[in-house]
Amino acid sequence: MAVSLDDRTILGSGEFRYRVEGHWGKLPKGWAFGEVAAVAVDSKDRLYVFSRSEHPMTVFDRDGNFLKSWGEKTFKRAHGLSMGPDDTIYCTDEGDHTVRRCTLDGEVLLEIGVPGKPAPYMSGRPFNRCTHTALSPTGDIYVSDGYGNPCVHKYSPAGKHLFSWGTSGTEPGQFNLPHNICCDEDGLVYVADRESHRVQIFDGNGKYRGQWNNLHRPSALFMSRGPCPYCFIGECGPVLGVNRKAPNLGPRLSILAKDGKLLARLGDRDEKNWPGQFISPHGIAVDSRGDIYVGEVSRTAWPNLYGDEPPPANMRILQKLVKI
């Protein structure tokens, strides 16, 4: 018998309280998201949804009304999305091994990587199933790379490769699946080292500066702009048969201060709310009002998290958490 996913009306407490809109976004009739790999918000609070579907980029106003789509002949497998301060959008295509900088109407302004031609596995050369991008305050581009590489690559704003860092491993500066990346106003670089259960922090030259360890398989990162940003982290749940039902391991959203202090945890799974508010939070964006958008790769993640348990008919793909 399939389990159901009831929306939890309110998540969090104190300064971090949110009302859930569990199935958000009104697609045209006959369309489906498939899975939402990433989301991004522009300066007008329009939401860009990067999905593994026939229409990889769909755009909505803040009320969830569909505005347009693009990218149907451009992208192979959506993975990462980040919005530049000039309202150009960086799209990381894991299946095509490329990063493309686009206008908000889908015109490709810059392409990094060779479409369909990955670098050799674990070679450290760009790209082998790259995962996400981040921009420095001066416009340099960082790319986490990814499923077939254990490193970060730095590019100039024009797309010239400057240098790379990282090798496979668990020591500081090594990576075990760098799955997401973001940058703060001081130029520090934050990398979700997913399978080592940590976020590592580097300066703009790739020098290790520290790490956050109070996480479980961090998958999504979003850092709000400003001198004292919050970091919003989507964490995946346990996938081993022996700990799939263990509490306090996610899937969940965590909000951390810049010093790594935990400020809030939203939707953590336990026996009372099984299977929980989230399945696999893979992409996060926060708008100017503090509302959080969460994209999930639920269909891919479900069998890893829940084994042979039948998935619910109303599988969540895209949620909005309205700040209250």
pLDDT tens-digit map of 249-285: 999 999 999 999 999 999 998 777 777 899 999 999 9
Asked, for residue 163, whether it belongs to a domain, the answer is yes
Backbone angles phi, psi at 71, to 5 degrees: 90, 10
| Residue whose structure tokens are 């919050």 | 230
Q: Alpha-carbon dihedral of residues 51, 53, 57, 59, nearest 10 degrees? A: -90
pTM of the model: 0.95
Domain enclosing residue 283, as ranges: 10-323
Q: For residue 278, give the CATH number of its domain.
A: 2.120.10.30
- Mean pLDDT over residues 123-137, rounded? 97
Query: What pLDDT was estimated at residue 274?
Result: 75
Instruction: Report which of 72, 46, 67, 45 is spatially closest to residue 57, judged by C-alpha positions.
Output: 72
- Mean pLDDT over residues 209-223, rounded? 97
Asked, for residue 1, whether it belongs to a domain, the answer is no
- Mean pLDDT over residues 28-49, rounded? 97
Give how many domains the chain has, as a whole number. Answer: 1
Q: Which of 10-14, 46-50, 296-300, 301-305 has the lowest mean pLDDT?
A: 301-305
Percent share of the chain, pLDDT over 90 = 85
Asked, for residue 5, whether it belongs to a domain, the answer is no
Query: What pLDDT was estimated at residue 1?
Result: 26
Are 236 and 194 in contact by the 8 Å Cβ rule? The answer is: yes
Asked, for residue 69, whether it belongs to a domain, the answer is yes
Asked, for residue 3, whether it belongs to a domain, the answer is no
- Where does the pLDDT of residue 306 fall: very low under 50, low under 70, confident under 90, or very high at 90 and above? confident
Asked, for residue 279, whether it belongs to a domain, the answer is yes
Are 12 and 260 in contact by the 8 Å Cβ rule? The answer is: no
Asked, for residue 125, whether it belongs to a domain, the answer is yes
Amino acid, single-letter form, for residue 229 = P
Asked, for residue 2, whether it belongs to a domain, the answer is no
